Every structure is written in C-alpha cells, then in structure tokens.
Amino acid sequence: MNRYSRCSISNQDPKTPEAWAFALLRLWGMNFPVKPEQIALEYSQQRFKGDPITAVTAQTIEGFEGALLKSPQHSRWYILYTPRPTLPGRESFTIAHELGHYLQHRKSADRFECGQEDVLDEDGYRYRQREKEVNTFASYLLMPMNDFREQINGQRISLDLLGHCADRYRVSFIAAALKWLAFTQDIAMLVVARDGFALWSKSSSRAKQKHLLWRSGRAVPEHALISQCLTAGRTGPVVHPPGVWSYYDPTTEMAIVSDRYDLQVALVLYPDTSTGPNHCEPEPADAYDFYMSKN
C-alpha cells in the first residue's frame, strides 16, 4: 500500500499552485529530494482513477523540454521529458512542471508541450499565466519554503550555498536562486544573458521597490563579471565600483557560465543604502503586473 492509498486531501481540489504543492508534500513528507515522477504516478492513479498518469518517460522531443499528453484512445496521460543525465535538476523541474499542468489544466487541453522558455524563462512580456502557475507549483513542490529558509537563514548568500540547495532539492542553480529571491530581504537581482545581452532578469522584492531590473534585450555591462568570463564554471564574488551594475553604488556580483546552454548567469547584490534605479530601468506597467507579483 503506498502513501497515497488513504488520501488526506479533501474531495475538493486545491485552488492555487502553492496549495497543491503543500497538499502533496503532506502526503510525501519532508524527504528530499522530492521525486515528482513517483508522485505523478502514485498520486494520480489513486486520486484520479478515471484519467491517471500511467507513464513518466525520458524521450528527446525536438524543441521541447517536456510534454504532457493524453492518449487519444483512452483516458490516460503520459509525461515525457528530455533526458539530461548530467543535469538531473532540469529533469526533476520539468517533470514537476508537467505534473502541474496535469493537476491544474488537464481539463482545458489534451496536449501540453513546453520549451526551455516555459520551464526557465521569467520574461514578463512572453510569460503566460498557465506556465507561471505550473512553475510556481514545481518550485513549491521541490523546494518547500520553510525547509529552504532553514538552509539559508543566518548565512551570507554565496554560489556554494545556493549550490547546496540545488543539490539538496535536485534542481538547477537558477531554480534555487529564484527561490531565494522570492523571500530574501537583500536587494538582489538575477540576470540570465546570452552573447552579452540579457534574456531576462528577476529581482527580489526590495530590488523591485527600487525598480532595479535589467530589461530583456539590454546589453550587460562591459565590465561585469559575466562579460569577462570566457570559460564555463562558477566565479566570484567580485565587488564592482560604481558604474558597472549601478551608476552610484558599488555592487557585488557572482557568476556562472554554462557552455552547454551558452548562458551567462549573474547574481548581483546591491548595498542596503542603494538608491536605485541607477543603471536599471523601471519595469513597464503592463509587464504582467510585475511578474504577477509572485517569486
């Protein structure tokens, strides 16, 4: 008998991504890393016997990270995900992402195909509400907030500390960094770039208040650490003088360069006395209401 045989979720389904994640974690227990593939199979076959998930399969899908598909002959669902043997965190997040579609959206469509921008991107202009919801679900399922805080509290943020969280929850560094930005009181910003231009950025709540954001398509500073790194790996922290990530304030930057995905990732910390926005620009009012006021 598995842990879902006696379902402790009420007959009424949770209404929010966070509530879904919390309800499943009550059944799973605080055992890390969470295995979304096991939850998908066991829970759906106990809770939704009429249309369960019957397979979670690694399969390369050209142009997609993962997919949730309904069998045309039967009321059965399948999760497919692109295998990433060296990046198990990407696999876990993708599976959890597709599980979120199953729990929240399967009545609206029979097929969900998700590319890298759906699983990782945070760009406010292109981001769809549906993808936002399932990324929130995956984040809360794989990285429960209370446990994440326990790993971080009382320590200065660093690449090693975020790397520890990524390993603990079997998620990517970017996913762990986004989780930290969701609750930190630091003035901080994550910038993901390629070829010297920002793909997207994400700011902590205090950074948002100061309108610190690096707009998609904007060139990263010439003297930024991610502009200087030529080889893959982690580097920093480096303290920059004013004039790099801020006109008037010194900033601290930590960087990761990935040759596999040709990405440069910078975590930028501003001083508590930062006046902002300096180099950064206010986010447009129509950019999904400041990323749907989440994360």
CB-neighbour burial class of residue 141 (10 A; exposed 0-12, middle 13-18, buried 19+): buried
Number of CB atoms found within 10 A of residue 29's CB: 9
Average pLDDT, the chain: 85
Closest-CA residue to 265 (of 204, 160, 193):
193
The pLDDT value given to residue 11? 67
Positions of E strands within 59-165: 66-70, 77-81, 111-114
Residues 239-294: pLDDT tens digits?
A: 999 999 999 999 999 999 986 668 899 999 999 987 766 655 544 433 333 333 33
Amino acid making up residue 206? R
Closest-CA residue to 102 (of 137, 126, 129, 128):
137
Q: What 3-state class would DSSP assign to 47?
A: helix
Contact 95, 81 (CB under 8 A): yes
Closest-CA residue to 72 (of 111, 31, 38, 26):
111
Give the C-alpha separation, 66 to 62, whole Å: 10
Spell out the domain ranges in the chain. 1-183, 187-289
If one compares 237 and 291, the residue with the highest pLDDT of the two is: 237
Give the tokens for residue 44: 């759906």
> H/E element holding 251?
strand 251-258
- Starting at the edge strand found earlier in the chain, the sheet holding 111-114 runs 53-58, 77-81, 66-70, 111-114
Contact 20, 137 (CB under 8 A): yes
DSSP 8-state code for residue 66: E
- Residue 125, pLDDT > 50, answer no
List for the chain the helix, strand, coil content (%; round to 5).
Answer: 35, 20, 45
Amino acid making up residue 217? G
Q: In CATH, which of 1.10.3470, 3.30.450, 1.20.120, 3.40.50 is domain 187-289? A: 3.30.450
Residues 66-107: pLDDT tens digits?
A: 999 999 888 899 999 999 888 788 899 999 999 999 999 999
- Residue 8, pLDDT > 60, answer no
* Angular region, 30: left φ>0, alpha ψ -120 to 50, beta rest: beta
